[in-house]
Amino acid sequence: MDAFFYPSSVAVFGSFKKGAIAYEILRNIVEGGFDGNILPVNPKGGRVEIAGKSFEIGEKLEEPVDTAIIAVPAKIVPDLIDEIGPLIRGAVVISAGFSEVGNGELERELVQRAKKHGVRIIGPNCAGIFGVHGRFFGSFEVRVKPGGLALISQSGAFGGAALAMGNDEGVGFSAFVSYGNAADLNESDFLEYFADDENTRAIALYIEGVKDGRRFLKALRYASSKKPVIVLKAGKSASGAKAAASHTGSLAGSYEIYRAAFKQAGAIEVEEMEEVFDAAKAFEMYAKAGKRVAVITNSGGPGVLATDKLERLGLEIAKLGEETVEALRSFLPSQCSVKNPIDLIADADYERYRRTIEITCGDENVDSLLVICVPPIFIPSEEIARAIVEANCSKPIIVNFMAGELVREGVELLEKHGIKNFPTPEKAAKALAWLSRRRNGAGEGI
């Protein structure tokens, strides 16, 4: 599988006219900085210019490469595989026109030819793959920053949109794979692979349906025992399942069965697309967190919203120990509330935040902290950010700096120190909920 995600050479098959799929993929590979051998192939030959570089287009493949990316008409793909089979280890078949439009026969033919040569197939009908740490962007989708998230998507378009959203959210990626019709390699193979991939810290999976449930459960269990697996299941409702079936030809099956499987395997199921990245941000910082949360805020209202959401998600508002309450009372102004949520009120400064975090963090009744900051009136938000960064606390801290533009400096300082900001109290609460589910789920049943 390394041939796909850490290749040392790649061949691209298709049209290299500007705007054509193969051209766009080639452009992504070149502009992305891939430093292995890159071979564009088209029977017509010629040259193609990209990013100031000029490539000769081979009329056929004449030397071995790790991976072939194929964007030629569906009907000639099996013959092409036969021709180049001896020279490649894996093929990513972008071409559409196989089982998804009723051409199951052509798809079986493709797999048979590949098997004959010991070649593994991703696709057909897919958007391609990224191996981000090897700077290999073998897809026409938007390039992303390196990081720890491997995104496995049954839907190519979902995957593409998700990469762009992840970029916007500041999430870094280790890899991306859109596996389309899954004629050969499928979600289970990728789960197992990324479970052991050292650049991958968390896995995000978008699925509509799987063909081999037993195998999937095993793979999901294995992956979840190694790292967080965030799952977004589409086709949950009756109409949704029907739409998914007509879309990918996969039988979505009963959602209840999937849900039970996710839970049993210890995977983190999210409800909405956006939550994939909220969860990814949380797991980029922490492996897990306990259920007893201390909320620290400089404003009552947002503290209440966080508290509501935490309880609703099954977490506990930690009951602070006597000593903690006394220690807080000893230095906080009398208008501050030292009950959890701890309200440091509007004029809270560096010192008030830092000491409160440290004291609360030292309480054995507290597993994790949710720290809220509305734009402080008298000091820059950076000071509160610095208090969070410098506080001596080894428990997970999830931060909610509210009101975007007004706390920008604070948020930037946090990010510089690897602390991601969650823009609302509710999102911060959800982040803790996902972290807490991991503890119970991980390795269960293994």
- Contacts of a copy of itself in 137-166 (CB under 8 A): 140, 142, 153-158, 160-161, 163-165
The two three-digit tokens of residue 43, written as one number: 């029977």
Binders of a copy of itself among residues 166 to 185 (CB under 8 A) are 167-168
Q: Which of 427, 431, 433, 442 binds a copy of itself (CB under 8 A)?
A: 427
Q: Which of 101, 251, 257, 446 binds a copy of itself (CB under 8 A)?
A: 101
Comparison of 189 and 275: residue with beta carbon closer to a copy of itself: 275
Comparison of 45 and 314: residue with beta carbon closer to a copy of itself: 314
Report the C-alpha gap between 217 and 187 in whole angstroms. 11
Binders of a copy of itself among residues 400 to 419 (CB under 8 A) are 402-406
The secondary structure of 153-177 as a DSSP string is ESSHHHHHHHHHHHHHTT--EEEEE
Q: How many C-beta atoms lie closer than 10 Å to residue 218's C-beta?
A: 16
Report the C-alpha gap between 81 and 67 in whole angstroms. 12
The two three-digit tokens of residue 441, written as one number: 């789920």
Comparison of 245 and 285: residue with beta carbon closer to a copy of itself: 245
H or E element at residue 195: helix 187-196
Q: How far is the CB of 307 from a copy of itself (least distance, A)?
A: 4
Q: From 72-80, 181-189, 213-221, 298-306, give the range in contact with a copy of itself by CB under 8 A.
A: 298-306
The two three-digit tokens of residue 320, written as one number: 């602070």
Q: Is 246 in the site for a copy of itself (CB under 8 A)?
A: yes
- Residues in contact with a copy of itself, shown as a per-residue x/- string from 46 to 75 under the rule CB under 8 A: ------------------------------
Q: How many C-beta atoms lie closer than 10 Å to residue 21's C-beta?
A: 20
Report the C-alpha gap between 341 and 364 in whole angstroms. 16
Report the C-alpha gap between 67 and 151 in whole angstroms. 19
Q: Is 186 in the site for a copy of itself (CB under 8 A)?
A: no
Q: Is 254 in the site for a copy of itself (CB under 8 A)?
A: no
Q: How far is the CB of 295 from a copy of itself (least distance, A)?
A: 8
Among 166, 178, 160, which residue's Cα sits nearest to residue 69? 178
Comparison of 211 and 214: residue with beta carbon closer to a copy of itself: 211
Q: Which of 300, 321, 362, 380 binds a copy of itself (CB under 8 A)?
A: 300
Comparison of 31 and 62: residue with beta carbon closer to a copy of itself: 31
Q: From 106-114, 192-200, 245-253, 280-288, give the range in contact with a copy of itself by CB under 8 A.
A: 245-253
Amino acid at 293: V
Binders of a copy of itself among residues 330 to 349 (CB under 8 A) are 335, 337, 339-341, 343, 346
**Beta-strand pair 128-131/136-139:** antiparallel
Comparison of 84 and 234: residue with beta carbon closer to a copy of itself: 234
Q: 424 with 400: CB under 8 angstroms?
A: yes
Residues 6+ apart with CB under 8 A from 307: 295, 317, 341
